[in-house]
Structure 1
């Protein structure tokens, strides 16, 4: 039976070893788990495609194929027209997969070994490759993936879309673009971020009645950011509360031509509950800022001037939005680094850090993949090949908490991983990162610790984006998030 996504996620090898351990502990034959897996996928097909009459199941060589044969038998028994396209000789199957194939034969089933006309089917089931994939998909398997991806027939993937790495989420050559993925027993971390978010379609979890037992005996690789994080981190305010209790955020940035970025950052800090917010920026921008948002305090600054009073006033700093790469921004960056205040570093602040690396424990770094690549001295494609490895490498080199933005944003503090399951493609627009940095700075100012501020900020930002996108993803603006952010932190 499919359930809501669990909070914990695991590496593929943990699941492979853990499912055998839990089966032994519960005295459940592994084949019984295969039968449950097939039933769970078939139930999802019935739920999402109740009118499907013609089913194509594409099978490979391992236990993923065994799940496919179980699905086929169930579908045939239910009266569906079932075709199995086997990419390997089924006679070579072993173990539980061979048993599933034999039972398919016993009920009168057969297989075809040549490519069918895939467009004649109502649903295609991907049972080719499982979580053990370690090299690029090639040969007949790669050809099958390409054919399926171009046929415009709904695809249901068993456990993981074939061609995806279960640990990193990267595509190994080619990968199935599924409409639905029914993942089994435990949530695999590679399904949660990067390219996987596109290829998995809607993610459905089926615990096969062993998920609770599995979770008791396996240490998670990390956690999905849950809906209850707000109540954990932001308790209701006392009726006697005053602004002095909720911090003073100093936003540094807005070089010539980039006032909008620091404005969005500062507005986001206000909208999510910071007590006071001040912006230090170019003199030409101060009037625009207070006109746009009169609740903001502003201070113009030029190299050679003191920032001592502003830094003494602040409890937290956000630096980077609209900071630029000029002599003005270099001087402002140097002064900011001298302040022993917790910081959120974004945008051009990260680019400056990449050129002058240092390690600190009191900051949150919020790179997108391009900034992450500069921080690591590598190409963007290397970051995206393994986002978990990239965020760990950044944190090891620079310290603090690192939030790697993108589909399935990852937060890492040197010990714990958290992944966001919110946000949408409409948020791929200018200013979204500036809003996020302001939200996180505000949460720090309200007393939330670094890791919790990064995870809660990511959740609030993505959730607000999802609410705003109900009016349409294309054309979504960063400022559209503000009313939803205010509602979410209430």
Structure 2
């Protein structure tokens, strides 16, 4: 009976995700399906923001913007002409110019991903901390991952009591943030669902997508899981794909909120997290079946169209 209950719940959650996918239509115009911004990248890490941004586009976003340091921009541009790359995030530059440069684009974006490949240089952390405040003032939906989570761990007030943010920590990132908020590490044998719920509640009922063999999602009140198996390969970049897709689905869930309320009691953030977790795990499974130990994050990107069509049943109108 317990297994049946889990299967039924997963099926119900997947149906909720399907309900937020905007139909393809000849009457639509560029931008309606989503304009996603990624704040990240550094001299050493150019792949991470690319993977987040290109995943959003492959899943159906119309536009993806990457805000990065000047030295990272030419490299990221070379990966794909589809991305709009802004070399505005210069750690050594005047902070006010960085804030104004990026902030002028915020009204044109539907959701932000903050952190992929950002690095931990102190002045860059300060810049991004102020950008988070600007985004909060605009009531923007955000997904914070990777080095963005390092910033949150150092300065939790950046996100505390802001319910429109999703944090997507892996095991180590979750442990660090949990220790910051509670003064001790989570018990290794403890109830992982309750740990996730408690941390989300303590941070002001934002949403946490705790990555692992089973992804645990909570907004401090409700808890759900994505039990899809995925694959045993743990190559770099998988979390970046997840963050980009989560941001896009978050925007779609917001757009479909009235319809969503009749299908599920879950808020848009949790539906988005489940949908992104499910689809990325399916992409990993498909890519691993083809490439096995040689699988890379780029192989998962190429699986997005097939996985999306198969599991989220896109249809044209």
Q: Could you tell me the TM-score, scaled by structure 1's length? A: 0.53
Inter-partner Cα distance in structure 1 for 2:186 and 2:199:
15
Any idea what the Cα deviations from partners look like across 1:48-78, whole Å, max 9, x if unmatched?
Answer: xxxxxxxxxxxxxxxxxxxxxxxxxxxxxxx
> Retained in 1: the 8 A contact 2:59–2:304?
yes
Determine the structure 1 residue equivalent to 2:296.
477
| 1:353 is the counterpart of 2:152 | yes
Determine the structure 2 residue equivalent to 1:316.
111
Determine the structure 2 residue equivalent to 1:364.
166
Inter-partner Cα distance in structure 1 for 2:9 and 2:55:
26
- Alpha-carbon offset, residue 253 of structure 1: 0.5
> Retained in 1: the 8 A contact 2:197–2:221?
no
Tell me which of 165, 169, 175 is aligned to 1:373. Answer: 175
Greater per-residue helix proportion: 2
The alignment covers a number of residue pairs equal to: 275
In terms of mean alpha carbon deviation, does 317-326 or 476-485 score higher? 476-485
Inter-partner Cα distance in structure 2 for 1:260 and 1:253:
10
- Alpha-carbon offset, residue 318 of structure 1: 0.5
1:250–1:320 CA distance, 2 compared to 1 (3 A): same
Tell me which of 10, 16, 29 is aligned to 1:224. Answer: 10
Tell me which of 164, 186, 191 is aligned to 2:2. Answer: 186
Greater per-residue strand proportion: 1
Tell me which of 335, 339, 342 is aligned to 2:141. Answer: 342
SS across alignment from 1:339: helix
1:291–1:245 CA distance, 2 compared to 1 (3 A): same
SS across alignment from 2:118: coil
Any idea what the Cα deviations from partners look like across 1:348-404, whole Å, max 9, x if unmatched?
Answer: 111111121123100111011111111111676625633112211221122221111
1:235–1:277 CA distance, 2 compared to 1 (3 A): closer
| 1:489 is the counterpart of 2:308 | yes
| 1:331 is the counterpart of 2:114 | no
- Alpha-carbon offset, residue 227 of structure 1: 4.6
Determine the structure 1 residue equivalent to 2:197.
392
Inter-partner Cα distance in structure 2 for 1:471 and 1:381:
37
Any idea what the Cα deviations from partners look like across 1:223-262, whole Å, max 9, x if unmatched?
Answer: 4365544423315322322222112111001122011111
Determine the structure 1 residue equivalent to 2:225.
419
1:258–1:451 CA distance, 2 compared to 1 (3 A): same
> Retained in 2: the 8 A contact 1:274–1:443?
no
Determine the structure 1 residue equivalent to 2:261.
none
1:278–1:413 CA distance, 2 compared to 1 (3 A): same
Inter-partner Cα distance in structure 1 for 2:28 and 2:233:
34
Question: Which consecutive residues of structure 1, in runs of 5 or more, have no partner in the other structure?
Answer: 1-184, 188-204, 206-214
SS across alignment from 2:294: coil
1:487–1:242 CA distance, 2 compared to 1 (3 A): farther
Q: Could you tell me the TM-score, scaled by structure 2's length? A: 0.80
Higher relative contact order (CA 8 A, sep 6+): 2
Q: Which has the larger radius of gyration?
A: 1
| 1:438 is the counterpart of 2:244 | yes
Inter-partner Cα distance in structure 2 for 1:405 and 1:396:
18
> Retained in 2: the 8 A contact 1:424–1:473?
no
1:413–1:345 CA distance, 2 compared to 1 (3 A): same
Inter-partner Cα distance in structure 2 for 1:369 and 1:379:
15
Tell me which of 21, 24, 43 is aligned to 1:256. Answer: 43
- Alpha-carbon offset, residue 456 of structure 1: 0.5
Inter-partner Cα distance in structure 2 for 1:384 and 1:278:
41
1:375–1:332 CA distance, 2 compared to 1 (3 A): same
1:395–1:430 CA distance, 2 compared to 1 (3 A): same
1:457–1:392 CA distance, 2 compared to 1 (3 A): same
SS across alignment from 2:72: helix
| 1:405 is the counterpart of 2:207 | no
